[in-house]
């Protein structure tokens, strides 16, 4: 073993990083998207490839189009005023460790044939590409929704909803959602949180709080539906099944559903169907909703050996969640490092994800699942809520690749 590491690996990198003329060729790993998955992956790769980066054998590029990194699960606690939005945001550049070249540039076109990324400023070549471009709620898909509805899936949305709830004394709050959406338990969490918040302030008796779902059940995952159903039965909550909103009339304060029903509201909270990032659609890489056809085990883009996908951008049939991106990063780091070192890519993503389900102002459940284990929430406790709070604080260590 030499001072710098394993001699076998060194020889492999050395041979790969020289052309026939003996010129040094740097291998470029490009990551598009500086959200939860892309930032974590870049930082972890930088740690594992520290020596190769130092020796200019590998360069790591991270393309980010937002100066501010947002921890989205924090929106739930902004809505009740428990924390300010600043608690859940950090400058993107403060999260990126040495060894990662952060490019604050929006990628406009991905050319997987030429292995190039185009931005407004430049065209970049890559050897290995990771797409971490996420998913976004499409508020323009339903006429009237952008003007007529509140949401808690964006910074602006959660601040506006916080202010609306702070002044809401009586009337009907209706929660609607469509699939696919990221964190598919968040709409039921906001229902439980708003219920508890209004109760804690003595304002619940004049408020009718209604939860709906596009499926006939309280949730499309049977185990989660069963968990929610027990609470609904015990507390007499109101549920509207098969509500897929096709139009919002902000003047009349009415939603119209696919089945032709109408439902009135005084305050509407709507989470629409999500889509992939515009660049995926513009580059012709996604399915009809702009999600990337991805191998569920290797996380490679279909038909591409040199392109990987992480997080919400995939079309893998699991919940779109930051924790999924976290576990995916573990196998991607191993496979990318192995690949650069000329070793076989042995890691497989097993569909693992874990998330909390907040069920009161001071209680949470927890859900763990993978490809072979369907999600089944465990009973809510105060201790789990405390763990949720802990994780919210520790997220910044996760993003920096330290956890």
Ligand X SMILES: Cc1cc2nc3c(=O)[nH]c(=O)nc-3n(C[C@H](O)[C@H](O)[C@H](O)COP(=O)(O)OP(=O)(O)OC[C@H]3O[C@@H](n4cnc5c(N)ncnc54)[C@H](O)[C@@H]3O)c2cc1C
By the rule CB under 6 A, 183 interacts with ligand X: yes
* Least distance between ligand X and beta carbon 95 (Å): 11
- Complex with ligand X: residue 97 or 341, whichever CB lies closer: 97
The beta strands (E) that lie in 64-214 are given as 68-70, 89-91, 100-103, 107-111, 116-119, 123-125, 128-131, 135-137, 171-177, 207-212
- Complex with ligand X: residue 152 or 385, whichever CB lies closer: 152
- Complex with ligand X: residue 106 or 295, whichever CB lies closer: 106
Characterize 360-376 residue by residue with b for buried, 16 or more Cβ atoms within 10 angstroms of its Cβ, and e for exposed. bbebbbbbebbeeeebe
CA terminus-to-terminus distance, the chain: 28
DSSP 299-321: -BBTT-SSEEE-GGGB--SS-B-
- Complex with ligand X: residue 102 or 174, whichever CB lies closer: 102
- Complex with ligand X: residue 100 or 186, whichever CB lies closer: 186
- Complex with ligand X: residue 37 or 99, whichever CB lies closer: 37
Site string for ligand X, 326-345 (x = CB under 6 A): --------------------
* Least distance between ligand X and beta carbon 112 (Å): 14
By the rule CB under 6 A, 182 interacts with ligand X: yes
* Size of residue set near ligand X by CB under 6 A: 37
* Least distance between ligand X and beta carbon 353 (Å): 7
The beta strands (E) that lie in 84-137 are given as 89-91, 100-103, 107-111, 116-119, 123-125, 128-131, 135-137
Nearest Cα neighbor of 62 from 87, 40, 84, 33 is 33
The answer to whether 153 touches 159, Cβ cutoff 8 Å, is: no
By the rule CB under 6 A, 34 interacts with ligand X: yes
CA distance 340 to 344: 10
By the rule CB under 6 A, 162 interacts with ligand X: no
- Complex with ligand X: residue 9 or 369, whichever CB lies closer: 369
Q: For residue 30, what are its two tokens?
A: 């490009």
Q: C-alpha distances in angstroms, 331 versus 318, 338, 342? A: 17, 11, 16
By the rule CB under 6 A, 107 interacts with ligand X: yes
Kindly tell me which residue out of 46, 112, 128, 325 binds ligand X, with binding defined by CB under 6 A: 325
By the rule CB under 6 A, 221 interacts with ligand X: no
| Cα 81 off chain centre by | 23
Three-state secondary-structure class, residue 172: strand
* Least distance between ligand X and beta carbon 206 (Å): 26
The answer to whether 263 touches 240, Cβ cutoff 8 Å, is: yes
CA distance 134 to 116: 20
By the rule CB under 6 A, 385 interacts with ligand X: no
- Complex with ligand X: residue 59 or 314, whichever CB lies closer: 314
By the rule CB under 6 A, 112 interacts with ligand X: no
By the rule CB under 6 A, 279 interacts with ligand X: yes
By the rule CB under 6 A, 52 interacts with ligand X: no
CA distance 195 to 359: 10
- Complex with ligand X: residue 57 or 63, whichever CB lies closer: 63
Residue showing the smallest CB distance to ligand X in the complex: 35
Tell me which residues in 56-95 interact with ligand X (CB under 6 A): 63-66, 72-73, 75-76
CA distance 265 to 210: 9
Region near ligand X per CB under 6 A, out of 5-13, 50-58, 215-223, 313-321: 313-321
The binding site for ligand X (CB under 6 A) comprises 32-38, 63-66, 72-73, 75-76, 106-107, 132-134, 152-153, 182-183, 186, 277, 279, 311-313, 320-323, 325, 355-356
């Amino acid at each position: 073993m030499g001072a710098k590491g394993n001699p076998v690996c060194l020889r492999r990198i050395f041979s790969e990083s020289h052309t026939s003329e003996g010129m040094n060729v740097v291998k470029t790993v490009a990551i598009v998207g500086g959200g939860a998955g892309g930032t974590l992956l870049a930082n972890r790769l930088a740690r594992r490839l520290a020596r190769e980066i130092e020796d200019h054998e590998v360069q790591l590029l991270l393309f980010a189009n937002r100066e501010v990194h947002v921890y989205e699960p924090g929106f739930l606690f902004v809505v009740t005023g428990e924390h300010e939005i600043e608690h859940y945001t950090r400058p993107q550049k403060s999260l990126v460790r040495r060894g990662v070249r952060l490019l604050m540039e929006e990628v406009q076109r991905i050319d997987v044939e030429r292995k190039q990324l185009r931005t407004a400023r430049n065209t970049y070549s890559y050897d290995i590409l990771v797409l971490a471009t996420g998913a976004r709620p499409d508020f323009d898909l339903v006429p009237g929704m952008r003007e007529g509805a509140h949401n808690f899936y964006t910074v602006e949305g959660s601040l506006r909803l916080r202010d609306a709830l702070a002044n809401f004394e009586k009337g009907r709050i209706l929660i609607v959602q469509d699939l696919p959406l990221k964190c598919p338990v968040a709409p039921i969490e906001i229902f439980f949180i708003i219920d508890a918040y209004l109760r804690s302030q003595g304002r619940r008796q004049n408020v009718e709080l209604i939860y709906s779902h596009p499926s006939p059940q309280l949730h499309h995952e049977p185990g989660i539906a069963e968990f929610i159903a027990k609470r609904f039965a015990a507390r007499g909550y109101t549920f509207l099944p098969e509500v897929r909103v096709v139009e919002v009339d902000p003047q009349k304060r009415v939603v119209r559903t696919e089945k032709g029903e109408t439902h009135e509201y005084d305050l509407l909270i709507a989470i629409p169907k999500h889509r992939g990032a515009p660049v995926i659609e513009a580059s012709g890489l996604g399915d009809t909703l702009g999600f990337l056809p991805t191998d569920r085990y290797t996380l490679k883009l279909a038909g591409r050996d040199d392109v990987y996908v992480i997080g919400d951008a995939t079309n893998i049939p699991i919940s779109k969640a930051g924790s999924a991106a976290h576990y995916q990063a573990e196998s991607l780091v191993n496979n990318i490092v192995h690949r650069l070192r000329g070793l076989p890519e042995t890691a497989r993503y097993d569909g693992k994800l874990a998330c909390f389900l907040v069920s009161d102002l001071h209680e949470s459940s927890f859900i763990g699942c993978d490809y072979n284990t369907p999600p089944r929430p465990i009973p809510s406790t105060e201790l789990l809520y405390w763990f949720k709070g802990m994780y919210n604080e520790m997220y910044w260590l996760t993003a920096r690749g330290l956890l």
